[in-house]
């Protein structure tokens, strides 16, 4: 007895039904798997740290650093180079009338070894007079390492590099401020902003209980806007030196 072959339409319907059932099974299995949490990598921001007011008219950032072939800083959501530029923007303030400061980025690298990932940053802050003579400098460096996980991919390295760079820049900000205050103290100005209110002096209470006659304090002059402009080439910035205090009574003649 010869078997009668199935009609092509019935074969097609069976294949379509099986494909639909397989699609539903795959969709159900995917729905049961939890979605991976979205990763967040906030950009660097150092405006919460103490600004450094320099007695210069302008501040520049010079990036002369060239990445080596094995540098992987391009993988990091926060590149050390961008973080160093942001450090200069947030922390260095030009508050003088002449001269200039140049922050030179000498290293901003991330390297992948066999078992560790290492990061290293180095900057140099130079002070120049209007005649382009260097009169002072400060150099700061920071470095950190972290263990390389097995079977690491570019996707799994991104959060690792971000954390490494963030911690390394925390170290750099501490070291940078220390070196600037230690080596360029003559070019630093007070951090208080102009126009701040002067605290009211302490009033004396007489022994007879009567309130002393006081005169109204003169109003503080409104702060004038300051414009930063370069002076003639023969002038040079003068570091601030506090005036000598007149302490103690003078001897009677």
Quote the CA–CA distance of 17 and 14 in Å, as a whole number.
5
Residue 88 CB: number of other CB atoms within 10 A? 19
> Is residue 34 within 8 Å of residue 76, measured between CB atoms?
no
Quote the CA–CA distance of 66 and 84 in Å, as a whole number.
15
> Is residue 54 within 8 Å of residue 101, measured between CB atoms?
yes
Domains defined for the chain, CATH in brackets:
52-187 (3.30.160)
Q: Return the DSSP state at 113.
A: -
Quote the CA–CA distance of 178 and 184 in Å, as a whole number.
10
pTM: 0.63
Helix (H, G, I), strand (E, B) or coil at 145: strand
Tens-digit pLDDT string for the chain (253 aa)? 555 555 555 544 455 556 565 565 555 555 444 555 567 899 999 999 999 999 999 999 998 899 999 999 999 999 999 999 999 999 999 999 999 999 999 999 999 998 999 999 999 999 999 889 999 999 999 999 999 998 889 899 999 999 999 999 999 999 999 999 999 999 999 764 444 333 333 334 444 444 444 444 444 444 444 433 334 444 444 444 444 444 444 444 4
pLDDT digits (tens, 9 = 90+) for 13-61: 455 556 565 565 555 555 444 555 567 899 999 999 999 999 999 999 9
- How many Cα atoms are found within 13 Å in the side-chain-facing hemisphere of 64? 9
pLDDT of the residue at 40: 86
pLDDT of the residue at 14: 58
> Is residue 83 within 8 Å of residue 142, measured between CB atoms?
no
Helix (H, G, I), strand (E, B) or coil at 168: helix
């Amino acid at each position: 007895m010869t078997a009668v072959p199935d009609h092509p339409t019935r074969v097609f319907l069976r294949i379509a039904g099986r494909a639909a059932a397989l699609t539903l099974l795959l969709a159900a299995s995917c729905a049961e798997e939890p979605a991976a949490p979205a990763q967040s990598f906030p950009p660097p921001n150092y405006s919460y740290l103490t600004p450094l007011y320099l007695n210069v008219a302008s501040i520049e950032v010079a990036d002369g650093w060239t990445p080596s072939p094995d540098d992987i800083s391009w993988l990091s959501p926060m590149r050390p180079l961008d973080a160093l530029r942001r450090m200069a923007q947030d922390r260095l303030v030009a508050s003088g009338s002449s001269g200039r400061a140049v922050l030179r980025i000498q290293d901003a690298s991330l390297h992948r070894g066999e078992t560790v990932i290492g990061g290293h940053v180095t900057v140099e802050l130079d002070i120049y007079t209007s005649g382009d003579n260097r009169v002072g400098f400060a150099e700061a460096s920071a470095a950190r390492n972290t263990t390389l996980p097995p079977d690491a991919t570019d996707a799994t390295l991104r959060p690792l590099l971000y954390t490494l760079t963030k911690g390394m820049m925390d170290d750099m900000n501490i070291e940078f401020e220390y070196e600037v205050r230690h080596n360029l103290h003559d070019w630093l100005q007070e951090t208080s902003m102009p126009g701040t209110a002067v605290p009211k002096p302490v009033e004396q209470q007489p022994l007879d209980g009567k309130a002393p006659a006081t005169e109204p304090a003169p109003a503080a002059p409104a702060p004038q806007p300051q414009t930063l402009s370069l002076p003639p080439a023969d002038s040079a910035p003068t570091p601030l030196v506090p005036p000598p205090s007149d302490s103690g009574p003078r001897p009677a003649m």
